[in-house]
Amino acid sequence: MPPPPARGSEAEAQGLRNSRAELSRLRFHNHTWFHITRYAGSFVAHNHPMASWSAVYCVRAGEVVKKHPQSGLLRFFDPRQGANAYLDPANDKLHAPFALRSLEIRLAAGDLVVFPSYLFHEVTPFYGADTRITEVSTGPHVTGVNPVPATPMQPSLPSRVSPMSTPAAIGSSPSVMPLPGLAMAAGGRGD
């Protein structure tokens, strides 16, 4: 096998130009919408098929109601189906990531939660007197190149990034962004 091209060589520069040309053909599609939740509103357990990643950005968390401590929680269900078939004193009190229970997150304004779209999740009934507002985004759906063969994914838990700035643009329609726009969105704009 020939040695790799020397740094700064013409061959390396040509490879970089080819990569940039290929990357410029990529288009990342996402779908974004808002949830405005009023008293007793909730979202049943679901996932987001046909997407790789999902994100929830909290615009307004809504009132925390002391007599309803579960009000408005974002709940992720354990993807290890059947893992809790037998609980005993040895495995009943395990801490994350080994716990055999759902992950519950009380969002605060500015929180951003990013998670694999295959994870089932729900929002528990919200009992605040005001409204709870979240922006949800799914994607990316990549077009412009030959698809990459699917590989099995390891189950993973949501990542929480907090706090984030308010999104610069508010809307609820599908959008298309080229690769450089994706990098910019990942660098400081929440969904």
Domain boundaries, the chain: 27-85+92-142+156-165+172-186
- Cα-only R_g, the chain: 21
Report the pLDDT value the prediction gives residue 50, as an integer from 0 to 100: 84
Report the pLDDT value the prediction gives residue 168, as an integer from 0 to 100: 33
Report the pLDDT value the prediction gives residue 74, as an integer from 0 to 100: 97
Per-residue pLDDT of 46-103, as tens digits, reads 999 888 899 999 999 999 999 999 999 999 998 887 877 888 888 888 877 777 788 8
Report the pLDDT value the prediction gives residue 174, as an integer from 0 to 100: 32
Residue percentage of the chain with pLDDT more than 90: 39
pLDDT exceeds 90 at position 112: yes
Extract the tokens encoding 46.
């679901």
Report the pLDDT value the prediction gives residue 175, as an integer from 0 to 100: 31
CA distance 155 to 170: 31
CA distance 182 to 165: 16
CB 37 within 8 A of CB 62: yes
Per-residue pLDDT of 113-147, as tens digits, reads 999 999 999 999 999 999 999 999 998 766 665 54
CA distance 45 to 27: 30
Residue 58: exposed, middle, or buried by beta-carbon count in 10 A (0-12, 13-18, 19+)?
buried
Averaged confidence pLDDT in the chain: 74
pLDDT exceeds 50 at position 36: yes
Cis bond leading into 97, ω under 30°?
yes
The verdict on domain 27-85+92-142+156-165+172-186 having CATH code 3.30.420.40 is no
Highest mean pLDDT: which range of 7-11, 89-93, 121-125, 177-181: 121-125
Written in H, E and C, the secondary structure of the chain is CCCCCCCCCHHHHHHHHHHHHHHHHCEEEEEEEEEEECCCEEEEEECCCCCCEEEEEEEECCCCCCCCCCCCCEEECCCCCCCCCCCCCCCCCCCCCCCCCCEEECCCCCCEEEEECCCCEEEEEECCCCCEEEEEEEEEEEECCCCCCCCCCCCCCCEEECCCCCCCCCCCCCEEEEHHHHHHHHCCCCC
